[in-house]
Amino acid sequence: MAERESGTAGIVDGAAVLPDRILGLLDNLLERFPRRFGDMPVAVVLTLPALLVLGFFSFWPMINSFVLSLYGGKRGAGAFVGLGNYLEAMHSGEFWKSLTVTVYYVLGTIPPMLLFSFLIALALHRIGRARSFFRTLYFLPYVTSVVAAAMVWRTLFNPHGGVFNLLLAWGGGAPQQWLLEPRGVLHLITGGVVDPSVGPSLALCCIMLFDIWHGCGFMVVVFLAGLSSIPREIEESARIDGAGGLRTTWHITLPLLSPTVFFLAVVGVVRAFQAFNSFYALTQGGGNTQDTRNLILFIYSQFYDYGYWGYATAASTLLTLAIVALTALQWRFVGRRVHYS
């Protein structure tokens, strides 16, 4: 028994010493590099596993996609056309229409989602009881399958006996086509004063409403985490000095919460430009309807429905460049207003 215990103790001691030996070998290896490299060798060693994963699953497909975008024809079997696919996309009315729909979608979802999520999180932060219950309740739509939730919302938007049309009829309003309505929502609200092509369509607004409902849960949880990290002494000092709830929220809570707002804005915009599931599920794959076809659906239809692989990958490359440029602008102009202390 004593020998077994001593053997087990030796194994445990060896397992505990192993990380130290590995670190010692790394130290000896890194000491051989010239000092002019600084901490770069350590950074390379520590980030190498992540770089390998990103390189294999992200960078390499991106490189292949760019190479494929330089060829014409169907299914990548055409001749080398260089930047011809990019020029065709830039002169395509369908491409610009899908980009316009994407911009409408981003502007119509991210600001309302940030506002509603902040107000909900602020209310949940200030209540003492049932906070966990309401937090779970608001987070539940986010963890629900987009396709399953979209099936329910499609039933609600059904122009023949759907709940929303029933509510309109009960209030004396005219029934609407909802997800089937291509005319602009401004045209419908103004009674025809605004041109039907101006602004997002009613169908696109329905998709926006669904995604606001579905995505608020994630932002609420992140806002709650940010609010919990704010010292209560600061807000209490402001109230003692005579600041009301609104002034305290505007001048103290929001500036201290600006890193969280900036993070959610950047992530939200990137995800909004890449939205696909809600568009595809709510419109039943309606990539042929231009008023609800964003850039991702446009790329999907060109790639899978028509087989223009080079053209589709060129459009996806342009979308990637637009996302990178927009993110850089956010960091350049909005990032300056972020208070990290």
For the stretch 130-164, pLDDT in tens is 778 888 888 899 999 999 999 999 999 999 889 99
Question: Both 103 and 47 in a single domain?
Answer: no
Question: Both 103 and 38 in a single domain?
Answer: no
Question: Both 179 and 309 in a single domain?
Answer: yes
For the stretch 245-284, pLDDT in tens is 788 888 888 888 999 999 999 999 999 999 999 999 998 8
Q: Which of 21, 53, 80 is the last residue of a domain?
A: 80
Question: Both 133 and 25 in a single domain?
Answer: no
Q: For residue 5, what pLDDT is reported?
A: 46
Q: At what angle do helices 146-156 and 202-228 cross, to 10 degrees?
A: 130
Report CA torsion sign: 315, 319, 321, 322: positive
What length does the chain have? 341
Question: Both 176 and 272 in a single domain?
Answer: yes
Question: Both 209 and 223 in a single domain?
Answer: yes
Question: Both 52 and 118 in a single domain?
Answer: no
Residue spans of alpha helices (H) in the chain:
2-31, 40-54, 60-68, 84-90, 93-126, 131-143, 146-156, 163-170, 185-189, 202-228, 232-240, 245-248, 254-256, 258-273, 277-282, 295-300, 309-329
Question: Both 153 and 273 in a single domain?
Answer: yes
Domain that holds residue 188: 85-337
Question: Both 94 and 44 in a single domain?
Answer: no
Question: Both 187 and 306 in a single domain?
Answer: yes
Q: Which of 80, 108, 132 is the last residue of a domain?
A: 80
For the stretch 282-318, pLDDT in tens is 988 765 578 899 999 999 999 998 999 999 999 999 9
Q: For residue 15, what pLDDT is reported?
A: 47
Question: Both 22 and 145 in a single domain?
Answer: no
Q: How many domains does the chain have?
A: 2
Q: For residue 9, what pLDDT is reported?
A: 45
Question: Both 106 and 134 in a single domain?
Answer: yes
